């Protein structure tokens, strides 16, 4: 089968016309015959349109399909669309795709990066003011379930027992790429991780919330976002700054269950920073650099960096339960929220196809180990993740078709024994990322 047949598979199913003997016609006869063919075609179109208005929604769809088919036959008979039309559509779609991608996924201007390399925009509110660390009151968290950057904040919030101390509003992706709130949603504590209303400001979109701050706002309205509900001000929308803040701030008596957990102990701070310098550009942002690459060279560079780093971490995790030895840290949280989406989304949609996570025994076991922490599992919503990527990122999936969920992401498989606790040992020294 030729490439053009693959583009238009229905053409191979059309019956071949039966050859008919041809006879010469006079000029007037040829004109009348042409008129009869045109009227016959118009009658077929009219009949198709008329039947669609009187049928059910299913038959209406069929009628529209027949109308399109009939129009195609009128234009080019029973053959394939003309090559000129195919070329024009391809050129038009390519131009539109590059235009959208330049707006949605801006390219790097660095001379060190290949042309068409994705560059993540910097956060407009990159740090949490020191005053909030001493008095973290009246704060509200805005998140969205598909987003890995928001997910890391939800994981730390859950591990630290901050569900009551830090209320949350969950937005859902809109078809235009914005974050929307749904008019009704669950109100009970513990059931807050589904899209619902804006519980702090009663707005319809996250952009409207950003616009409430003094002086307004015309930048990107991103999640996660920490909001001061009393002052009506954006506190921070940089995910790592937020999780550092949640780990270290004193929320007093509002903490339940995780007050003794320190995800960034001082003795591991340098090692955690080492890992983040490796994981962020090559894995966390690396999958986006693959998916949003606008040239082959940019994609090749990103995908090689991604899998070289995954190979390195796979080797490290063969002798270490977590990245920094026996201790669960912020570095693990940051890696986990990318890994849990890898086979689900990035392997397929972002073309990270060299290997699946399931093909890395240590990385997959590590992911299962973290998923089996109840507080972590409570933040994972695989259906929302798939919908948020496959049904929203139109330039990468124009048809909006969502594939079946991979078996590796099945809850029962993720909950199976992983035996990684055998790697824990007080006498075993962890290694820095730079030494691995």
Exposed (0-12), middle (13-18) or buried (19+): which is 383, by Cβ within 10 Å?
A: exposed
Told to judge if 288 belongs to the known catalytic residues of this protein, a careful annotator would answer yes
Residue-level length of the chain: 436
Q: Pick from 328, 322, 312, 332: which is nearest to 434 by CA?
A: 312
CB 258 within 8 A of CB 249: no
Q: Got the DSSP string for 381-428?
A: -HHHHHHHHHTT-TTT-TT-PPPPPPGGG-HHHHTS---GGGG--TTP
- Report the b/e string of 141-174 with b at 16+ CB within 10 A: bbbbbbbbbbbbbbbbbbbbbbbebbebbbbbbe
DSSP 64-104: HHHHHHHHHHHHHTTSPPPHHHHHHHHHHHHHHHHHHHHHH
Catalytic residue status for 147: yes
Secondary structure letter of residue 238 according to DSSP: -
**What are the helix (H) ranges across 77-203?**
83-104, 130-134, 148-159
DSSP designation for 282: I
Which one of the listed residues 142, 147, 352, 409 is annotated catalytic? Answer: 147
Spatial distance between the Cα atoms of 216 and 124, rounded to a whole number of angstroms: 13
Catalytic residue chosen out of the listed positions 288, 346, 366, 390: 288
Task: Confirm if 239 and 153 have CB atoms less than 8 A apart.
Answer: yes
Known catalytic residues are 147, 288
């Amino acid at each position: 089968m030729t490439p053009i047949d693959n583009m238009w598979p229905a053409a191979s199913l059309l019956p071949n016309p039966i050859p008919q003997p041809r006879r010469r016609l006079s000029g007037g006869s040829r004109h009348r015959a042409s008129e009869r063919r045109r009227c016959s075609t118009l009658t077929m179109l009219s009949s198709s349109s008329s039947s669609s208005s009187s049928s059910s929604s299913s038959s209406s769809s069929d009628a529209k399909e027949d109308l399109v088919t009939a129009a195609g036959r009128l234009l080019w008979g029973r053959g394939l669309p003309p090559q000129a039309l195919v070329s024009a559509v391809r050129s038009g779609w390519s131009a539109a795709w590059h235009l959208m991608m330049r707006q949605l996924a801006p390219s790097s201007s660095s001379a060190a990066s290949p042309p068409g390399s994705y560059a993540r925009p910097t956060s407009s509110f990159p740090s949490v003011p020191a005053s909030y660390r001493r008095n973290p009151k009246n704060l509200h968290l805005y998140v969205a379930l598909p987003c890995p950057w928001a997910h890391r904040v939800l994981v730390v919030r859950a591990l630290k027992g901050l569900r009551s101390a830090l209320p949350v509003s969950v937005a859902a992706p809109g078809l235009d790429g914005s974050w929307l709130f749904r008019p009704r949603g669950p109100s009970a504590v513990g059931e807050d991780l589904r899209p619902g209303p804006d519980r702090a400001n009663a707005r319809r979109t996250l952009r409207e919330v950003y616009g409430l701050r003094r002086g307004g706002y015309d930048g990107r309205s991103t999640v996660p976002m920490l909001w001061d509900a009393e002052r009506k001000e954006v506190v921070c929308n940089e995910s790592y700054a937020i999780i550092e803040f949640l780990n270290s701030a004193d929320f007093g008596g509002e903490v339940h269950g995780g007050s003794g957990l320190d995800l960034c102990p001082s003795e591991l701070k340098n090692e955690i920073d080492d890992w983040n310098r490796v994981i962020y550009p090559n894995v966390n942002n690396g999958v986006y650099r693959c998916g949003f690459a606008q040239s082959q060279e940019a994609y090749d560079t990103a995908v090689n960096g991604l899998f070289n780093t995954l190979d390195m971490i796979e080797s490290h995790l063969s002798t270490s339960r977590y990245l920094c030895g026996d201790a669960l840290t912020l570095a693990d949280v940051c890696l986990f929220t990318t890994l849990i989406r890898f086979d689900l989304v990035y392997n397929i949609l972002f073309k990270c196809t060299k290997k699946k996570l399931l093909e890395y025994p240590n990385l997959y076991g590590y992911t299962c180990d973290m998923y089996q922490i109840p507080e972590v599992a409570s933040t994972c919503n695989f259906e929302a993740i798939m919908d948020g990527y496959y049904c929203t990122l139109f330039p990468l999936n124009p048809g909006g078709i969502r594939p079946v969920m991979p078996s590796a992401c099945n809850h029962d498989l993720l909950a199976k024994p992983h035996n990684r606790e055998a790697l824990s040992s007080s006498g075993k020294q962890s290694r820095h990322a730079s030494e691995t």
